[in-house]
Amino acid sequence: KQKDGVVEKENGEIKERTKGAKKWRKGAVWGWVKTTWFTMVFSMKDFGMMFWVRDKPSVIYGGEGVELWPRSLETIKFQLQDFRSIKKIIPNATINDVLLGIISSGLCKYLHVKSPTDLQHGLQITAILPVNLRKKPDLQELADMMRANTWWCGSSSWGNKTGAILQPIHCCNGLHPLDHVKRMKAIMDQKKHSYEAHVSFLFAKLILPCLGPKALVVYMVSYAGMVDLQVMVAEDIIPDSQFLVECFKESFLEMKNSNDRGGQNIDNGD
């Protein structure tokens, strides 16, 4: 009886390992299918933006020669801890998701005042997000990098390895700023399962000139517990950069206040 019990236990362990292996294989296959599908879809959309499709003209749309126009720079300072607190409201959200939500919501507030008709027609603005493709972000020996230098995305080759992701921002009325974060997160979750940034890196010399310079550029730098959000605009297109910055601040404060109230104002539905 004791031997029979040992045999049954071993058979049970074998069955569990077999089930685990099958589950892992299914997960691996499904992950490969998702990665392949999203890479194809997003790469085709990117090429479409390069050659055929353009964002609809709006009050913040750049023009020919915009790279030579006078610039205005505004800086907003936040506490990094506030970003961390806000992202906890939405499961698995990141600080970058919160930043994109602030930009998306702030642009909607700005357009609501400057051009309400754009929001009524469902304006879409495409943001370009740089992505670091280096697998080893820490310091490396110069000799090792020179030996590994290749034209593709090597893990330790010489030079920067920066790809780009095209992030659509759908401008519309009536959304709480935290709902903008949810939208940005949903799109970014799909893009993280793709090689869109790697494809854009390989064709960067072709893509960047086609996309052209932008009338609105937003940078974020975090250091020593602080977040600096820098907004650079072409003065001839966005002459009231301070008002745009106030829109970003207002969106941030609405998120922060919702966090203080436990996120009661956010729509948790799909």
Lowest pLDDT segment from 62-76, 138-152, 182-196, 213-227: 138-152
Two structure tokens written together for 79? 């506490």
Q: pLDDT tens digit string along 81-140? A: 999 999 999 999 999 999 999 999 999 999 989 888 877 777 888 888 888 887 665 666
* Region 262-267 average pLDDT: 52
* Region 49-66 average pLDDT: 80
Stronger pLDDT, 90 or 267, i.e. the higher one: 90
The answer, yes or no, to whether residue 35 has pLDDT greater than 70, is yes
Beta-carbon contacts of 245 under 8 Å, excluding residues fewer than 6 positions away, are 74, 76, 231
Q: Is residue 164 part of a domain?
A: yes
Q: Is residue 266 part of a domain?
A: no
Percent of the chain whose pLDDT exceeds 90 = 21
Q: Is residue 270 part of a domain?
A: no
Q: Is residue 33 part of a domain?
A: yes
CATH number assigned to the domain comprising residue 117 = 3.30.559.30
Percent of the chain whose pLDDT exceeds 70 = 71
Q: Is residue 77 part of a domain?
A: yes
Q: Check residue 141 and give its pLDDT.
A: 67
Q: Check residue 2 and give its pLDDT.
A: 46
Q: Model pTM?
A: 0.75
Q: Check residue 144 and give its pLDDT.
A: 66
The answer, yes or no, to whether residue 170 has pLDDT greater than 80, is yes
Residue 107's nearest CA partner among 7, 268, 215 is 215
User: In which band, very low, low, confident or very high, does the pLDDT at 269 lie, cut at 50, 70 and 90?
Assistant: very low
Q: Is residue 36 part of a domain?
A: yes
HEC-encoded secondary structure of the chain: CHHHHHHHHHHHHHHHHHHHHHHHHHHHHHHHHHHHHHHHHHHHHHHHHHHCCCCCCCCCCCCCCHHHCCEEEEEEEEEHHHHHHHHCCCCCCCHHHHHHHHHHHHHHHHHHHHCHHHHHCCCEEEEEEEEECCCCCCCCCHHHHHHCCCCCCCCCCCCCCEEEEEEEEECCCCCCHHHHHHHHHHHHHHHCCCCHHHHHHHCHHHHHHHHCCCCEEEEEEEECCEEEEEEEEECCCCCCHHHHHHHHHHHHHHHHHHHHCCCCCCCCCC
User: In which band, very low, low, confident or very high, does the pLDDT at 163 lie, cut at 50, 70 and 90?
Assistant: confident
* Region 213-241 average pLDDT: 80
Q: Is residue 132 part of a domain?
A: yes
Q: Is residue 155 part of a domain?
A: yes
Domain count for the chain: 1
The answer, yes or no, to whether residue 19 has pLDDT greater than 70, is no
Q: Check residue 100 and give its pLDDT.
A: 92
* Structural domain boundaries enclosing 90: 2-260
Instruction: Report which listed range, 35-39, 180-184, 256-260, is most confident.
Output: 180-184
* Region 61-75 average pLDDT: 82
